[in-house]
Amino acid sequence: MAQSLEVRGVSLRFGGVRALTDVSFAINEGELFSIIGPNGAGKTSMVNCISGRYHPTEGQLFYKGRDITGLTPNARASLGIGRTFQNLALFHHMSVLDNIMVGRHHLLKNNFLTGSLYWLTGARREELQHRHKVEEIIDFLDLQSVRKATAGTLPYGLRKRVELARAMALEPSLILLDEPMAGMNFEEKEDMARYVVDLNEEFGMTVVMIEHDMGVVMDISHRVMVLDFGRKIAEGDPSAVLADPHVRRAYLGEEDEVLVDPDDVPAATESAA
């Protein structure tokens, strides 16, 4: 199977702080790959390195065999790498439709000069084609009822969906989702999980997802990687990774059973309090 993304020995430092240390992994085309770990583990830093927002201190990144380590975020977007953000990055004063149209700007072929000759060039036809694509995304994400609404006035769950729509508008082959279900209620999470699966299966996008809801991660991911203090501690099938004792200690806070005497539990609890 062809590789979509390869990360080789990536380290990231901010002064004396190590956000990532020698992280390597590869993602195949068509995979739904999740990155998990406790808060501060380096998950968003990893996604920022992939998207180009951060440049690694050491190591390289390859997208479909091409070294993208030194490319800007815009250059990576033009290659087909899209992303959403942990904290919403919508244009709150713009409509839902216009926010999604912004996601198409990398695909526009007409420039300022040709666009000024709107009726004489292909600019009008191009705009209609882009609007048709945007309408397909609006239908897919059930945003018809709010398409003309101002994005900043929408409930949080809907705004997360609009941000996903804008990332989809780029028509990426690799999409990076940074906590797409954070802050959602159970029903909203179920809907978003379904959309993520459909992105992968129906639209054929390779998905890299950061998510804290372990139930969702285990249900929909093909493979999982675990980071802890900026280091990779496990990677593989979701059920095998969750059963790894290192993962259970780091992510779930569990102690190794052979090291804990039941008689010591009350004392340990008192001292922790």
Checking if the pLDDT of 258 tops 50, the result is no
d(C-alpha 202, C-alpha 195), whole Å = 10
d(C-alpha 179, C-alpha 44), whole Å = 9
* Number of residues written out for the chain: 273
**What is the CATH code of the structural domain delimited by 1-80+173-273?**
3.40.50.300
Q: What is the pLDDT of residues 179-215, one digit of tens each?
A: 999 888 999 999 999 999 999 999 999 999 999 888 9
- pTM metric for this prediction: 0.82
What contacts 237, CB < 8 A, 6 or more positions away? 223, 224
Helix, strand, coil tally for the chain in percent (to 5): 45, 25, 35
For the chain, the average pLDDT equals 84
d(C-alpha 34, C-alpha 238), whole Å = 9
The percentage of residues in the chain with a pLDDT greater than 70, rounded to a whole number, is: 81
Query: Considering only CA atoms, which of 245, 182, 258 is closest in space to residue 216?
Result: 182
Checking if the pLDDT of 113 tops 60, the result is no
Residue that the structure tokens 């989702």 belong to: 177
The CA-to-CA distance between both ends of the chain, in Å, stands at: 51
Residue 166 DSSP symbol: H
- Give the start-to-end residue ranges of the domains of the chain: 1-80+173-273, 90-171
